[in-house]
Amino acid sequence: MSEYLRFAFTSDLHLDRRSPEAAPRWERFFAELGETRPDVVVLCGDIVGLDKEGPLRELGAALDRHVPDAQRLFVPGNHDLWQRDPDRDTERFYAGELAALFRETAGLSLLDGAPRVLGGTIGVVGSLGWYDYSLAAPGLVLGPRDSYERKTFHGHRVWNDARWTSIEDDRAFCARLVAQLDADIDEVKRRGARRVVAITHTLAFAEMVRSVHEKPLWTFAQAFHGSTALGEVIAGHAEVALHVCGHTHLPAEMRVGGNGLVSVNVGGGYDRPRSFVRDVPL
């Protein structure tokens, strides 16, 4: 019997925006994922976007071909919540229909509010995550008509969650998700997990914020990159050994907190799929 479970993480596939010219790259990506022979594949959000069903079915078929034996887990990203319907109720979709859609089309199991204990000792918890402006760029001066609530800066609507979701109070929504994640970690500990892997779509630690562009719009958008409250919960449980996120498309790995906790941003982006593999001891 092996002494670890092999996890393969990928994020921000944005499969609704896959271009036909990139088909060979995608085929190679899934083939290489299969060659790592993971026990568990975790998708860390932004799997699709406004168009969901077709791309999810294709994803399911690719996973059937290349990683037929791996468990498939996911957290949704903000783009997975997007809906065209003007009467959309994003929170209801997130709490209800979304799980069934991803399960039936791609065989993916939602982690949010449904934590697992694998191999008897490894807890796996996850959350969409969201943002509460706690990662907003310090010192950025907003004009009179700019606001993080409206996601508008210098007349530009910087962040399209304002357009395609019905989340009106980001802080309150984020706080509910943070509380759920905390409860999920408690739950796996109660069920015997000695080591916990925590996944969030958005960033959870300020150290992970990278101001790569000198562009003011990107600086403004930092407010929507995640929440330090997620990090406080994750680092607050000594059993969490690994945190994995996505969302900004910028790969990174760093130690956070004092307990040897490692936070990894998978990175990725449109037609630039990335993954990384980690063996978690049982």
Using CB under 5 A, list all residues that contact Fe ion: 12, 46, 77-78, 247
**Can you read off the two tokens belonging to residue 52?**
């969901």
Smaller CB separation from Fe ion, 189 or 247: 247
For the CB of residue 171, give the shortest distance to Fe ion in the complex, in Å: 18
151 vs 247, beta carbon nearer Fe ion: 247
d(CA 227, CA 223): 9
Report the residue number, 91 or 239, with the smaller CB distance to Fe ion: 91
- Considering beta carbons, is residue 74 or 193 the nearer one to Fe ion? 74
What lies within 8 Å, CB to CB, of 67 at 6+ separation is: 8, 30, 33, 34, 38, 41
Contacts of 64 (CB under 8 A, 6+ apart): 107
Give the whole-angstrom CA distance, residue 252 versus residue 225. 14
Nearer to Fe ion by C-beta: 78 or 227?
A: 78
Nearer to Fe ion, 65 or 157 (CB): 157
Least Å distance, CB 118 to Fe ion, is 26
The CB-of-247 to Fe ion minimum distance in angstroms stands at 4
Q: Tell me the closest approach of the beta carbon of residue 215 to Fe ion, in angstroms.
A: 18
Shortest separation between residue 224's beta carbon and Fe ion, angstroms: 9
Q: Name the residue number minimizing CB distance to Fe ion.
A: 46
8 has which bridge partners? 41, 277
Strand partners, 252: 265
Q: How far is the CB of 5 from Fe ion (least distance, A)?
A: 26
Contact 173, 91 (CB under 8 A): yes
Report in angstroms how near the CB of residue 47 gets to Fe ion at its nearest: 9
Looking at the Cβ atoms of 91 and 187, the one nearer to Fe ion is: 91
User: Distance between terminal CA atoms of the chain?
Assistant: 11
Taking the C-alpha atoms of residue 148 and residue 170, their distance in angstroms, rounded to an integer, is 9
